[in-house]
Structure 1
Amino acid sequence: MSTAVPAVAMTARYALTSTRLAYRNVRFLVLTVALPLLLFLLYANLYQGQDAGDGLTVVAYLMVSMASFGCIGAAINTGARIAIERQVGWNRQLRLTALPGSSYLVAKAIVSMLVTLPALLLVFLAGATIGAVQLTAGQWIGTGFAVWLGLIPFAVLGLVIGFAGTVDTVQPISMITYLGLSILGGLWFPVEAFPAFLQQVAKVTPSYWLADLGRSVLAGQGVPVDAVLVLAAWTLVLGVVGVWAYRRSGSKV
């Protein structure tokens, strides 16, 4: 108990400090919020009033897709900051402090989750106002919470990329991963429009199940067990890879 309390306090302080720095990066926030918001507004104007089935309008369907799209980008792109910290030696200095390695990883994952909130909240706000999506308070909260919790594997993925890549490679790796998961996961186009082979590939990606989780809760169908299990499996696998990459990065600048 005596050692656990200071570790939790250090984790919280470091997470808070890192989150403040992330929110001061206006360029990062604009890039992760502007594109999904603009795409949603464009699609909402084109498909206003159309029905997507399962009790959802097309605009509500797209709202979940674009919110997920923006949040995934925010979570994954946190890896770029980790790579910069490694290059300037900040990561190595932290290893010499009393901050445990586990606390560092947890704090960075928390930061990744917190920086996703602007994209989630602004796209939902646009859906409620411009998109005329009408939901009860419980539906708004439940859907937002489901999407946000479903981002955990993407937050861990950002850590993996940050520790495995370099300052020169982390940005292209993040962008390719971001766009690849978004497209294959059906966030830009319905998976049903894909060839049969790509439909099977889509159902392996965490982005597909993130959107499925949000849409199912939005439609009042409850929390899909399959989505939870797949996202949990991705989190576990990426967590193991992340710990390995973190330990490996200790011998590098």
Structure 2
Amino acid sequence: MNLTYAAIELRRVARDYVSMFFVAVLPAFMYLIFGVSMDYGDQAVGNGNAALYTMIAMAAFGAVTATTGIGGMAAVERMQGWGRQLGLTPMSDREYVTIKAFVAFLIALVPVALIYLLGSVTGAEGSAAAWLLSGLVVIGGAAVFALYGLAAGLLFRTEAAIGAASGSLVILAFLGSVFFPLSGGMLTLAKFTPLYGYVALARYPLTEGEIVSTTGAAAGTDPLWIPLANLLAWGTVFGAGAVLLVRRGRGRQ
């Protein structure tokens, strides 16, 4: 991997203060509002408490915002001619993708580290396994949404489209029972939305599949296969869409 180019990309992304605010500061602020300041933060949830339950969701939201934006910008850069410039260098397509993935991973670590640090000093409690495994799932699962951003960039080919794709994550988070627990028909609908499986899987080491209601009590159980199937299905959809859009773009050249 070209470490020089990776460092340039990392600095370029980090200098975009507006994007970094939405990636890191906004999810951390939302955790402080919904996870720390509320009375239910101390309520027991699975292997921890409600504050940890909220903390995991906010870290996941920040991570997918990062990977969606970087994945989308990679596509737009290629479509707008940056690929031709890179073609004059020894860098291969595989190395370009590897560098973008590496940068996305590092940027995604920022909100996760910040929110987990805040959680550790503001009353989020849980077993060691819940802390460690949830963090690993948050980081690993966020890669699926790089494909989402990539597909959006390939489809619309503009930076505005990437902003729209990142912004749509807010709607998907509400529909996916990320910001607050849903129930009834809304919960049934949530299980088919992209963020539900990812966040439910990240919460699984804490909840062990228990579905939390607005009161903090368990409202049923999700077997492990439900969030796994959701994440794999949407990963397949996003990946297949990106591949088809790449082929369509090549066909027009």
- Whether the TM-score (by the shorter chain) exceeds 0.5 is yes
Residue in 2 that maps onto 1:213:
201
Do the aligned partners of residues 49 and 170 (structure 1) sit closer, same or farther apart at CA in structure 2, a change above 3 Å counting?
closer
Work out the CA distance in 2 between the residues paired with 1:204 and 1:247. Answer: 28
Equivalence map 1:53-92=2 (5 Å) = 53-79=45-71, 81-82=73-74, 85-86=77-78, 89-92=81-84
1:170 aligns with 2:170: no
Equivalence map 1:110-121=2 (5 Å) = 110-121=102-113
Equivalence map 1:228-239=2 (5 Å) = 228-239=228-239
Contact in 1 for aligned 2:28/2:114 (Cα 8 Å): yes
Q: CA deviation at 1:39?
A: 1.2
Work out the CA distance in 2 between the residues paired with 1:85 and 1:56. Answer: 43
Residue in 2 that maps onto 1:185:
176
Amino acid at match of 2:206: L
Work out the CA distance in 1 between the residues paired with 2:103 and 2:56. Answer: 22
Residue in 2 that maps onto 1:5:
none
Residue in 2 that maps onto 1:94:
86
Work out the CA distance in 1 between the residues paired with 2:7 and 2:132. Answer: 24
Amino acid at match of 1:165: F
Work out the CA distance in 1 between the residues paired with 2:46 and 2:10. Answer: 38
Work out the CA distance in 1 between the residues paired with 2:237 and 2:143. Answer: 12
Work out the CA distance in 1 between the residues paired with 2:250 and 2:235. Answer: 22
Work out the CA distance in 1 between the residues paired with 2:6 and 2:182. Answer: 36
Work out the CA distance in 1 between the residues paired with 2:170 and 2:149. Answer: 14
Contact in 2 for aligned 1:79/1:174 (Cα 8 Å): no
Equivalence map 1:125-164=2 (5 Å) = 125-130=117-122, 132-164=123-155
Work out the CA distance in 2 between the residues paired with 1:235 and 1:96. Answer: 33
Instruction: Indicate the SS of the match to 1:188.
Output: coil
Amino acid at match of 2:67: A
Number of equivalences: 239
Unaligned runs of 5+ in 1: 1-8
Work out the CA distance in 1 between the residues paired with 2:88 and 2:247. Answer: 14
Do the aligned partners of residues 244 and 234 (structure 1) sit closer, same or farther apart at CA in structure 2, a change above 3 Å counting?
same
CA RMSD, aligned part only? 2.9
Pick from 9, 17, 30 the counterpart of residue 39 of structure 1. 30
Do the aligned partners of residues 78 and 220 (structure 1) sit closer, same or farther apart at CA in structure 2, a change above 3 Å counting?
same
Q: CA deviation at 1:31?
A: 2.0
TM-score, normalised relative to structure 1: 0.80
Contact in 1 for aligned 2:69/2:163 (Cα 8 Å): no
